[in-house]
Chain A
Amino acid sequence: MLYENPVYRIMGDRSILVELGDEISLTVNQRVRELFLTLDRHRIEGVVETIPCYRSLHIIYDPLKITLPTLQDRIKGLRRTMNGAQIPKPRTLKIPVIYGGEYGPDLLWVARYHKISPEEVIRLHTGSTYQVYMIGFAAGYAYMGTVPEALVTPRRKTPRTIVPKGSVGIGQKQTGVYPVESPGGWQIIGRTPLKLFDPTRLPPTPLEMGDLVRFFPIREEEMAHWQS
């Protein structure tokens, strides 16, 4: 549910969470995006950075430059001017994936879990458009959702200590790509040759909160083409 009025959750002496709803939903997330982009456009003196999440915007400020009441007043003022009109349409990104085999070691497990064929898993995964709800946990790690009901899969009982960079996984209703090699508990069904985190580029990830994503299957031989 979208709150009628935001809940301002105070986190210490230099940050607040402006919470706009109590659930993971497109409606709430789009309002977070709207507030995030509005604050980007109207820079408030003393705001250090803003980080959009599922249902809240995290605002970090310099308490020596702006007081909390002033900051809250400014946010309230900006919210009154928001009508959704100035918000740019989300972009759609297409992410190539090699499904199964050594690149997607859990594809067969996921298929068996849902009693469908691996081809059907791929068809379902590539058949939906996903929304980037937030980027967090690690650099370039986009939380995308939601996967079709028929593909909602629990996390692995034992997380892997090493998940290779580019691995595409499913964890409950979410899907996503591991931007760097890291430990992880999602079911890995494929791998993308695209770099989703490159610290030498600005921005370091091609994905932004609010973007729409579609996955499409490629063959192993096409990998090199997509790496460039």
Chain B
Amino acid sequence: MAVVETLEVLSPGPLTTVQDRGRFGYGRYGVAPSGAVDFFSLRIGNLLVNNPEGEACLEITVLGLKVRALTDLVIAITGADLQPHLNEEPLKMWHSHFLRKADTLSFRGPRSGCRAYLALGGGISLSPIMESKSTNLFSRFGGLEGRALKGGDILSSDSPHLYLKARGRAVDQRWIPSYPKNWALRFAFGPQDDHFTEEGKRAFLHSSFEVTPQSDRTGVRLAGPVLQTKPGMEDSIISEGVISGTIQVPGDGQPIIILAETVTGGYRKIATVITADLPLLGQIKPGDTVHFQEVSVDEALQALREAEAIIERIRGGLRDESIDLDR
């Protein structure tokens, strides 16, 4: 396996980081999972370029990334439509493309969604830390020196030339998600819904919440009616485990959907977004609105099976195409 320099960062945009599927199993040391917020798009991007589906990609937030190819390689862009361009030409998303050495790739701004994923054939060559290449911005490790990308950074890949035949592949249109401005998120109540008044729970169920500009990789922060707790409840609870998708409610009664940058928290949690809907959290942006739909644990499980079945069908479709390519 040869490590080859593949991309030079000309402009990093406000926040571009290296993320893979995440860092699991180290929560007991306080180590957060990190990883791509929209891991559906990460997985599909990797499948398009023939990588293992959990490989590291660039997670591009809203706009601004510009990179130059340092060698011939194959790439795919999934997730938010940030108007990707190859040199001066608009580039199709959810397709794999051939980049010639010296080509530039730029992202001109959001048309829909919040985070785009750039997958490179051959992945991103970095030593995994605790089994993951994901960037942990708070504790400053993983990815590129634990930080966001900056101008002049060089990314390398493992044997990118071996992936060139994966060019020209596409995800069937029917599997490509659309990113609305008004989101419906499915959830199950708990673990502390019993701390809220009936009125507080009703407000949660029937209101529309606005996504605030303070939202980031740590959480989607919402503004709406105050979710009232029962009389006598303190603002905080004894710190305990949290998981991405958990909706915690601090003393001000405004919910925050926790993402994957922490493992514990000291606020009560009214509900938790189901696993099947977690990738959507990566595409919600400030100014969007969110409302919540209650489902049972069985319905949540069924939704997760369906989400995995879609990935299986995409994988199958791409496999058929690569057989064609090999001929």
Contacts and interface: CB of A to CB of B under 8 A. Distances in A.
Given A56-B241, A136-B30, A200-B129, A13 B275 contact: yes
A194 B241 CA distance: 27
B312 interface: no
Interface in B16-66: 24-32
Nearest to B264: A136
A65 B191 CA distance: 22
A180 B138 CA distance: 8
B275 A199 contact: no
Nearest to A136: B264
A58 interface: yes
Nearest to A202: B130
B139 A58 contact: no
Interface stretch (B1-9, B117-125, B299-307): B299-307
Contacts of A209: 28
B70 to A, nearest CB: 28
Contact of B245 (A12, A136, A208): A12
Interface size class of A (residues with CB under 8 A): 35 or more
B29, B246, B272: most-surrounded residue (chain A CB, <10 A) = B29
A68 B297 contact: yes
Contact of B130 (A14, A17, A199): A199
Contacts of B264: 51, 53, 134, 136-137
A13 B30 contact: no
Interface string B237-265: 01111110110000000000000001110
Interface in A163-202: 179-180, 182, 197, 199-200, 202
A48 B129 CA distance: 18
Interface string A127-164: 00000001111111111000000000000000000000
A197 B139 contact: yes
Nearest to B245: A12
Contact of B239 (A134, A142, A202, A204): A134
A114 to B, nearest CB: 25
A125 interface: no
Contacts of A74: none
A49 interface: yes
Contacts of B140: 180
A137 B262 contact: yes
Interface in A1-32: 9-17, 19, 23-24
Contacts of B192: 9
Nearest to B241: A58
Contacts of A10: 188, 190-191, 297
Contact of B272 (A11, A139, A179, A197): A11
B269 interface: yes
Contact of B28 (A13, A49, A63, A180): A49
B141 interface: yes
Contacts of A180: 138-140
B209 to A, nearest CB: 18
Contacts of A63: 275, 300-301, 304
Contacts of A126: none
Contacts of A49: 24-28
Given A10-B188, A199-B130, A53 B24 contact: no
B229 interface: no
B211 interface: no
Contacts of B243: 11-12, 14-15, 58, 60
* Pairs of residues from A and B, 5 with the lowest C-beta to C-beta distance, nearest first: A58-B241, A136-B264, A12-B272, A9-B191, A13-B300
Given A13-B301, A15-B241, A139-B31, 13 more contacts: A11-B272, A49-B25, A51-B241, A53-B239, A54-B239, A58-B242, A64-B301, A64-B308, A137-B30, A138-B139, A139-B29, A140-B29, A199-B139
25 contacts: A9-B190, A11-B243, A11-B272, A12-B246, A12-B300, A13-B188, A17-B191, A49-B27, A51-B28, A63-B275, A64-B308, A68-B297, A136-B239, A137-B264, A138-B30, A138-B32, A138-B262, A139-B30, A139-B139, A141-B30, A179-B30, A180-B138, A199-B142, A200-B129, A204-B29
